[in-house]
Chains A and B, each alone.
Chain A
Amino acid sequence: MAEEKTFVDDIDRSRYDFRNEDGESFKVEEGLTPAIVEQISREKNDPEWMREFRLHSLEVYNNTSMPDWGPSIEGLDMDNIVTYVRPHTKMSASWDEVPEEIKDTFERLGIPQAERESLAGVGAQYDSELVYHNVREEVAAKGVIYTDLESALHGERAQMIREHFMKLVPPTDHKFAALHGAVWSGGSFVYVPPGVSVEIPLQSYFRLNSPGAGQFEHTLIIVDEGAYLHFIEGCSAPKYNVANLHAGCVELFVGKNATLRYSTIENWSKNMYNLNTKRALVEEGAKVEWVSGSFGSHVSYLYPMSVLAGRGARSEFTGVTFAGAGQNLDTGCKVVHNAPDTSSYVNTRSISKSGGISTFRSAVVVNEKAKNSKSAVSCQSLMIDDVSRSDTIPAMDIRTDKADIGHEARIGRISDDAVFYLMSRGVSEEEARALIVSGFAENVSKELPLEYAVEMNNLIRIEMKGAIG
Chain B
Amino acid sequence: MELLNVRDLRVSVEDKEILHGLKFTANRGETHVIMGPNGAGKSTFGNILMGNPAYQATSGSILFNGEELLDMPVNERAAKGLFMSFQNPIEVPGVSLENFIRTALEQRDHKRVRLWEFRKEIKRTLENLMMDESYASRDLNVGFSGGEKKKAEILQLLMLKPSLAILDETDSGLDVDAVRTVSRGIEEFQKDKDSALIIITHNAAILSQLHVDRVHVLVDGQIAAEGDASLIDEINENGFARFEEGVNGNG
Contacts and interface: CB of A to CB of B under 8 A. Distances in A.
Nearest to A437: B94
B103 A427 contact: yes
Q: Which of B53, B84, B108 has the most CB of A within 10 A?
A: B53
Contact of A427 (B54, B82, B83, B108): B108
A415 B90 CA distance: 10
A435 B50 contact: no
Given A431-B107, A436-B92, A439-B92, A426 B53 contact: no
Interface in B58-116: 73-75, 77-79, 82-84, 86, 89-90, 92-95, 100-101, 103-105, 107-109
Interface in A405-458: 415-418, 420-429, 431-432, 435-436, 438-443
Given A1-B53, A423-B78, 6 more contacts: A416-B53, A421-B89, A423-B73, A425-B104, A427-B107, A429-B74
A110 B82 CA distance: 41
Nearest to A418: B90
Contacts of B131: none
A141 interface: no
15 contacts: A420-B53, A420-B54, A421-B89, A423-B73, A424-B51, A424-B78, A425-B78, A425-B156, A426-B75, A427-B108, A435-B103, A436-B92, A440-B93, A442-B94, A442-B95
B54 A416 contact: yes
B52 A429 contact: no
Interface residues of B, number: 32
A425 B73 contact: no
A2 interface: yes
Contact of A425 (B53, B54, B94, B108): B108
Contacts of B101: 425
B105 A426 contact: yes
B160 interface: yes
Contacts of B54: 416, 420
B84 A424 contact: yes
Contacts of A439: 92-95, 139
B94 A426 contact: no
Nearest to B74: A423
Given A420-B53, A420-B74, A435-B103, A426 B79 contact: yes
A438 B95 CA distance: 8
Contacts of B103: 427, 431, 435
Interface in B171-228: none
Closest 9 CB pairs of A and B: A439-B94, A426-B108, A442-B94, A426-B78, A425-B104, A423-B74, A421-B90, A439-B95, A423-B75
Nearest to B90: A421
A421 B83 CA distance: 10
Contacts of A440: 93-94
Contacts of A438: 94-95
Contacts of A442: 93-95
Tier of interface size on chain A: 20 to 34
Given A435-B100, A439-B95, A425 B90 contact: no
A266 B52 CA distance: 38
Nearest to A426: B108
Contacts of B156: 425
Interface in A374-409: none
Contacts of B107: 426-428, 431
Contact of B75 (A1, A417, A427, A443): A427
Interface in A120-179: none
Contacts of A435: 92, 95, 100, 103
B90 A427 contact: no
Nearest to A432: B75
Contacts of B104: 422, 425-427
A2 B50 CA distance: 16
B233 to A, nearest CB: 33
A149 B160 CA distance: 56
Q: Which of A1, A435, A436 has the most CB of B within 10 A?
A: A435
Contacts of A416: 53-54
A3 B209 CA distance: 44
Interface in A12-67: none
Contacts of B93: 439-440, 442
Contacts of A436: 92, 95
Q: Which of A415, A422, A436, A441 has the most CB of B within 10 A?
A: A422
Interface in B9-25: none
Q: Which of A425, A427, A443 has the most CB of B within 10 A?
A: A425
A395 B103 CA distance: 41
A429 B89 CA distance: 18
A68 B23 CA distance: 67
Interface string B133-172: 0000001000000000000000010001000000000000
Nearest to A428: B75
Contacts of A420: 50-54, 74
Nearest to A431: B107
A428 B79 CA distance: 10
A443 B160 CA distance: 29
A432 to B, nearest CB: 8
A424 B74 contact: yes
A377 B74 CA distance: 39
Nearest to B103: A427
Nearest to B52: A420
Contacts of B77: 424
A425 B92 contact: no
A426 B77 CA distance: 8
Q: Which of B50, B75, B108, B139 has the most CB of A within 10 A?
A: B75
A464 B107 CA distance: 17
Nearest to A420: B52
B251 to A, nearest CB: 32
Nearest to B85: A424
Contacts of A432: 75
A420 B53 CA distance: 8
Interface string A222-248: 000000000000000000000000000
A8 B52 CA distance: 22
